[in-house]
Structure formats: C-alpha cells, structure tokens
Structure 1
Amino acid sequence: MSRAHAIPTDALRRARIDYITEESVYGTVLVSGMIVVAGSYGATSLQVFLSVFGTVVVFWAAHLYAGTIAGHGAFEGDDTTLSTAFRRALRRSVGFLTSALPPSIVLLLGALQAVDDKVAIWVALWLGVVILAILGFVVFTLRGDSWPVRILGSLGTAAFGVAMILLKAFIH
C-alpha cells in the first residue's frame, strides 16, 4: 500500500501533535528508569510513586524552562515573545506528563494496597513497554508505512521499555 492510501485520521494527527512526541518516549523511559531505581531496594509502591512523581515534575519543569528559553529570541531577528515560547514549550511537553500517568496510577493502586507492591511495580514497568509500543506503532502508522514496518517500529520503540525491565531483573 502506498503512503497516499494510508492517510491517518484526524484523531491520529491530533495525537501526533500533542502526545506522540520525543518527550512522550523520553518521559516513559524516564518513569521506567525511576521505577527500576526506586523499586530495586525493596521500596513500597508508595515510595516508588513519590520518587517517580517528584522526578517527573522536576524533569518536566526543567524541560519546560529549557524549551521556553531556547524558543525565546533564539537567533538574531527572532521576535518570539516569552509567552509564545512558553506556550510552545508547554504544548510540546504535554506528552512528557501524560506518558507518566498510566504507570503512576498503577503505582498509586499499589500504594493504596489495591494490589500488591511487587505486582504494582512490575505492572507499571510492563505498562511502560505497552505505551512505548503504542507510540512507535502510531508514528509508523502516521508515516503511512506498511503493517510489517509498523510492527517493527512498535517493537523497536518498546525495546527501550524491555531494556528497563532487563535492568530491573539484573539489579534485583
């Protein structure tokens, strides 16, 4: 099938602009890494959740700040206002925050003792793999690639999450 025949829906295009960004991938890998580190020392789901939440907020704020500063008058003749640069950076960073939500919710369920701590930590890690797989699949779908390429792209993106799980297995 040619790319001309694989035009994605408006919903996919909108998702690409707001959520399917490098920040989404980076945020998911960051959360997975924090789960690996925080969960490797017998920490409870609550401790891991608090560690992940705090780290994501700090990294997101730093990313937002850096994006604002870098986008404000970045080159001679650029008259981008500070507020415009902030809005652009905020929009780009939405995926960073939203990618952290599903694993954080699972960790919170563990903290509330709705599920066992270890189960919550492992499910949160595997959820990161699923999120990465979806991000990869959507990107290759938007590009209009064939099904085999979409699947390979999805697996390639998910491999970052699997790498975190292997780190957890080796550290633990």
Structure 2
Amino acid sequence: MSEEDLGDETGTSPSLLPILMTEEAIYGLILVSGMIVVAGRGASLEVLVTVIVTVLVFYAAHVYAGAVARLAESRGKASPAGSLAFAARESSGLLVASVVPVVILFLGTSHVIPDVVANWAALIVNTILLAVLGWIAVGRWRPRFAARLLGALIAASFGVILILLKAFVTH
C-alpha cells in the first residue's frame, strides 16, 4: 500500500500523513493533554493560552535542538538556515497535532460549549487521536488486526493515564 492509498483510507491528505506519523505528533498530543490536566482548573481561555504558549515553546525548543544537533553532526558542512528549515519541518507534528484540541478549547473560550466540557472533550479527542495514530502507524509496520489493536491501545493509554490524572488527582 502506498502513502497515497493510506492517505485516502484514513481520510487525511497524503501530505499530512507523514507529519502525523511522527513521534513529534504523538508527543504533541501527549503534551497538550498534560497541559490541559495541569491548567484544567481554569477557564478555557487560561487553558487555551497555556496550551498554545507551551506548544510554541516546545516547538521552538525542538527546532533549535534539532538544528543545533544537525549542525554539530555535519561538522560544519550543513548551513544554519538549512538545518533550521529541516528541523522546523521535522518538528511540525507538534504544531499539527495541537490543532484539533486547540479548536475544541477555543469553542470553550467562545462559549459555544461550556469550559469544563471543552477541557474534557479535548482530552478525550486527544486520546482517540492517539489511538488512531497508533492504529495507523502499527498498521504500516504490521497490518494484522491484533498488532494494530495493540498499537492503538498502547498509544491511547497515554491519554487515558492523563484523563485519570485529571479525574482523580486534580479534582
């Protein structure tokens, strides 16, 4: 199965799929969920600002670290601009993964849905997205149902742990 076929099967564009099939995207979803747990007692606006600022700082730090590592690895052969551009592309999953939960949190800030619903919905949607990414990623490696299911469950378990943390520790 080609990436174009996989893009059609999952409902995502082929150009978006490689960004979502990265550790940065999975890490981004977990990061956003963690920030919702930490900031989740406040109004959606506080949670939204906390999530956006944190994602941007982590993205910038990831880009910086990636660019510096690439420059060091090249021993003077790579250009700073090229290394920075490469690192920005490689780290873009952090930004892309945060779009859906940020939209949900924005719905809370604009009072389309209540704050508490926005916070919980973002956590639940992130967990579902983690499961989907786990399903797709493992399916690219081993297309058997059991392997895919295990991949989805493992990926989703990170979100479930954060949901449990929010439910039992922060309230």
Secondary structure, counterpart of 1:80 in structure 2: coil
* Counterpart position of 2:44: 45
* Counterpart position of 2:9: none
* Counterpart position of 1:64: 63
Residue by residue, what CA displacement relative to the aligned partner does 1:77-112 show, whole Å, maximum 9, x if unpaired?
A: x61222221122111111110111101100000000
* Counterpart position of 1:135: 133
Residue by residue, what CA displacement relative to the aligned partner does 1:42-77 show, whole Å, maximum 9, x if unpaired?
A: x1111100111111111111111111111114154x
Secondary structure, counterpart of 1:79 in structure 2: coil
Distance between the aligned counterparts of 1:10 and 1:116, measured in 2? 39
2:142 to 141, 144, 155: 144
* Counterpart position of 1:109: 107
Matched letter for residue 28 of structure 1 = L
Residue by residue, what CA displacement relative to the aligned partner does 1:123-156 show, whole Å, maximum 9, x if unpaired?
A: 0000110111111011111113301111110111
Secondary structure, counterpart of 1:99 in structure 2: helix
Q: Please, what TM-score do these two structures have when normalized by structure 1?
A: 0.88
> What is the 5 A alignment of 1:71-90?
71-76=70-75, 79-90=77-88
Aligned residues: 163
Q: Is the 8 A contact 1:8 1:141 kept in 2?
A: no
* Counterpart position of 2:156: 158
Matched letter for residue 138 of structure 1 = I
Distance between the aligned counterparts of 2:77 and 2:17, measured in 1? 27
* Counterpart position of 2:28: 27
Shift of 1:29: 0.5
Structure 1 residues 11 and 92 mapped into 2: Cα distance closer, same or farther (>3 Å)?
farther
Q: Is the 8 A contact 2:105 2:122 kept in 1?
A: yes
Distance between the aligned counterparts of 2:110 and 2:95, measured in 1? 22
Q: Is the 8 A contact 1:32 1:128 kept in 2?
A: yes
* Counterpart position of 1:4: none
Distance between the aligned counterparts of 1:32 and 1:11, measured in 2? 30
Distance between the aligned counterparts of 1:145 and 1:156, measured in 2? 16
Report the RMSD for the aligned CA atoms in angstroms. 1.6
Distance between the aligned counterparts of 2:142 and 2:55, measured in 1? 32
Gaps of 5+ in 2: 7-13
Q: Is the 8 A contact 1:16 1:139 kept in 2?
A: no
Matched letter for residue 30 of structure 2 = V
Matched letter for residue 166 of structure 2 = K
Gaps of 5+ in 1: 1-6
* Counterpart position of 1:3: none
